[in-house]
Amino acid sequence: MAPLRAGLIGLGRMGKAIAARLKGQGVELHAWNRSLTKARELDVLVSDTPASLISKADHIILSLYDSAAVREVLTMRHGVLSADLKGKTIIDTTTNHWNDVLSFHSILTERGANYLEAPILGSVVPAMTGCLTMLVSGEEPPYKAALPIIEQLCSDIFFLKEPGLATRMKLLNNLLLGSVMASIAEAVSLSEKAGLDRAAALDIFSKGAGASAVLDAKREKVLKDDYGAHFKCSLMYRDLHNLQDMARTLKTPLFTAGIVKELFALTLSKGWGEEDFSAVFKAVKNL
């Protein structure tokens, strides 16, 4: 049986983790990144342009910063839209704006491509071990055809079908992610001020109401004040802002998101936007 073949556009932290995982699973991987030097640092087959990459694989993964980056990769000179897209499937793992992603469905479908809106839950470590969760919106036949690639990256996959729904659910998931982290930060900070050792507070919360995947993942970062980024404060702020924008359009109040978003705004004002979102602990502690 021929090896699986895929393309990958975007080699940021998550893109690199995706590349490492796919290569480790024996996938023949073609990649493009704006900085070709970064692409050549990896053991992948490097394409000079997004258009040339499209010709080398039927399944192309996008791992980009935001919707503006996706639109640029689509429309730039020698971008995705300049290639022959008939029969190609674009698997877009970017956390897009909930409205922009609808236009990507339209644009790529009109050009003959299959577009799978496929934001992921999880960060670099689960990406490298194939333990991501993916939410997918799009047509079912291309989704099923893409599963051999997707299953190399994900332990859990939710097929939501309706365009836009996967992105809306990703933003709502990040409301929970940011809210739980902010609550942990506030509880630990107040515990220290009340006279309890930080490690002891974390131990107690991990056995009580604070027990969660978030605390498990971020305990050591808070304990050691180590905020090397897995998921940046700036990205959490962006996602919560987009979620508020969605709620405004739906004419629905959104109470928790506003408070949590402003806590992450505080991390940006302190110059910590590029640090892991667990750095909200520093913002709360130093109030």
Same domain, 44 and 115: yes
State whether 83 and 207 are in the same domain: no
Round to whole Å and give the CA distance between 258 and 99. Answer: 20
Among the three residues 161, 190, 207, which one is the final residue of a domain in this structure?
161
Beta-strand (E) ranges in 19-101? 28-32, 45-46, 59-62, 89-92
Q: Which of 134, 161, 188 is the last residue of a domain?
A: 161
Q: pLDDT tier at 276 (50, 70, 90 boundaries)?
A: very high
Task: Give pLDDT tens digits for 201-224.
Answer: 999 999 999 999 999 999 999 999
Note the pLDDT tens digit of each residue in 239-268: 999 999 999 999 999 999 999 999 999 999
Determine the residue type at 161.
Answer: K
Assigned token pair, 57:
């694989």
**The two three-digit tokens of residue 277, written as one number:** 């979102």
- Both 74 and 116 in a single domain? yes
- pLDDT of 1: 65
Q: For residue 232, what is the DSSP state?
A: B
**Cα(104)–Cα(92) distance, integer angstroms:** 10
174 and 123, same structural domain? no
Residues 81 and 189 in one domain: no
Bridge-partner residues for 232, per DSSP? 276
Asked if pLDDT for residue 40 goes beyond 80, the answer is no
Here the CATH number for the domain that contains residue 280 is 1.10.1040.10
- Last residue of one domain, picked from the residues 132, 161, 190: 161
Residue with tokens 């507070």: 201
Answer yes or no: do 128 and 185 share one domain: no
Query: Is residue 230 located within the same domain as residue 125?
Result: no
Does the pLDDT value for residue 36 go beyond 80? no
- Asked if 252 and 156 touch (Cβ cutoff 8 Å), the reply is no
Contact 174, 231 (CB under 8 A): no
Residue 208 and residue 259 in one domain: yes
Together in a domain, 94 and 182: no
* 14 secondary structure, DSSP code: H
Which range of residues forms the domain containing residue 145? 5-161
Domain count of the chain? 2
2 has pLDDT over 90 = no
**Residue 154 sits in the same domain as residue 180:** no
Q: Are 30 and 7 in contact (CB under 8 A)?
A: yes
